[in-house]
Homo-oligomer: A and B are copies of this chain.
Amino acid sequence: MTKHITIRDIAKMAKVSVGTVDRVIHKRGEVAEESYKKVVAILEKTGYKPNLIARALVSSKSVKIAVLLPNPKQDEYWKLSVEGIDQAQQEWAQYSLELTRYYFDLYKNESFRSMAEKVLKSAPDGIIAAPVFTEESVEFFTSCKERNIPFVLVNSNLTSPSPLSFIGQDLYQSGMLGAELLHQGQKKPGTYAIMHIYDDVHASKYLSEKEKGFRDYFKEQGDKTYEVISIDLNHTHTRTLERELMELFSNPKLRGILVTTSKGAQVVSKMLEKRGKNDIKLVAYDLLKSNIRHLRAGTIDFLINQNSKRQTFIGINQLTNHLLFRKKVVPNYLFPLEIVARKNLQSYLDSVDH
């Protein structure tokens, strides 16, 4: 019934040609003041909506998107996000979408910098990236802005050059939730630890946001009986690491640990399993293989799911929709903080998005 109004209809009503109407719609000038006004008026009155399908068909130009992420081989978390890339690529297979992947070394800002340079050289129509190294990212995305290349950020955000869209979670709330999950049901006062374990020096705003939330949770508890310690272990020497962990475990007041890094979770849960769990609660992030096993076994009590796969998938989708169809994007696409426990784990593994 509601016959769609086309550019032809507009042209007829305004007594001009479709060419003129198109010029008005896309503001590519060369239109007489008078015609312009007439067309705009009719556009408004009729509430004309362009047919995106036709628009996409005609352009039919392959949209080129660059994906700039940490090397998935280094970290299982980022391996999950690759599944999101694959899924998006499949989804858009018929629409000429060219996805090129650029993986940088998660622990070397040098690597980020050089990969970013490559991305720029390839002159993509859009970029989706994880701004792991803040300083380098600011620099890189500033040049993107200058060149008018839209970029979408996943996992963590940047304030200064603002992205077309950010996809991720509220990290502060995430830290709070981690604290709550550890503290929940515990009546005795004690010590709670938040641990970041990585391979190299690696100052990340990402982790500190979580830590702030974690600390604030215990502050809010009112009674000052909670001691919060933050542990940064930045070495690959398994020995040293194990020694430090053993020392931590031996603290009789230790009630729980929140591990923020995937490598970390693996090490800590293995050690805790060996030692016998007793009363130390453990919360980690994401549906990584080792985490799943330890959640099932009971070493890990809860996981907080960040859904790396879906973050990346949505990111590419938004960017492509923007580029191909000029659709509007959600500037701040926040994911909920998903709690995964023993009894709902299976439903996550069964679910389509996993």
A53 in contact with B51 (CB, 8 Å): no
- With A and B bound together, what is the CA distance between A2 and B93 in angstroms? 11
Note all chain B residues with C-beta closer than 8 A to A180.
341-343
Can you list 17 A-B contacts with CB-CB less than 8 angstroms, sorted by A residue number?
Answer: A2-B98, A4-B96, A51-B57, A53-B56, A53-B60, A53-B94, A54-B57, A57-B57, A169-B347, A170-B350, A173-B344, A177-B347, A333-B352, A334-B351, A336-B354, A338-B338, A338-B339
When A51-B94, A95-B53 are in contact, do A336 and B338 touch as well, CB less than 8 Å? Answer: yes
- A289 → chain B closest CB, angstroms: 18
The answer to whether the Cβ of A337 comes within 8 Å of any Cβ in the partner chain is yes
Q: What are the residues of chain B within 8 A of A94 when measuring CB–CB?
A: 49-53
A1-57: which residues lie under 8 A (CB-CB) from chain B? 1-2, 4, 49-54, 56-57
Q: How far is the CA of A49 from the CA of B181 in the complex (A)?
A: 48
A177 touches B343 (CB 8 A): yes
Select from chain B the residue with minimum beta-carbon distance to A51: B94
Selected contact of A347 from candidates B49, B173, B341, B346, CB within 8 Å: B173
Q: Which residues of B contact A53 (CB under 8 A)?
A: 53, 56-57, 60, 94-95
The bracket for how many chain A residues form the interface is 35 or more
Q: CB distance A341 to B339 under 8 Å? A: yes
Q: Is A158 an interface residue (CB 8 A)?
A: no
* Distance of A173 Cα from B334 Cα, bound (Å): 27
Does A352 lie within 8 Å of B337, measured CB to CB? no
Residues of B near A49 (CB, < 8 A) are: 93-94
Query: How far in angstroms is the closest Cβ of chain B from A222?
Result: 16
Residue A267 interfacial (CB < 8 Å): no
Which residues of A, 148-203, contact B by the 8 Å Cβ criterion?
Answer: 169-170, 173-174, 176-177, 180-181, 184-185
Contact with A337, one of B2, B169, B347 (Cβ below 8 angstroms): B347
A54: chain B residues within 8 A (beta carbon): 57
Tell me the bound Cα distance from A49 to B94 in angstroms: 6
Over the window 327-341 of chain A, the binary record of Cβ atoms lying under 8 Å from chain B Cβ atoms (1 yes, 0 no) is: 000100111111101
A336 touches B341 (CB 8 A): no
Known contacts A52-B94, A96-B4; A336/B330 CB under 8 A: no
Residue of B nearest to A353 (CB): B336
CA distance A336 to B343 in the complex (A): 11
A344 touching B337, Cβ below 8 Å: yes
Q: What are the residues of chain B within 8 A of A181 when measuring CB–CB?
A: 343
CB contact list, A76-98 vs B, under 8 A: 93-96, 98
A330-B342 in contact (CB<8A): no
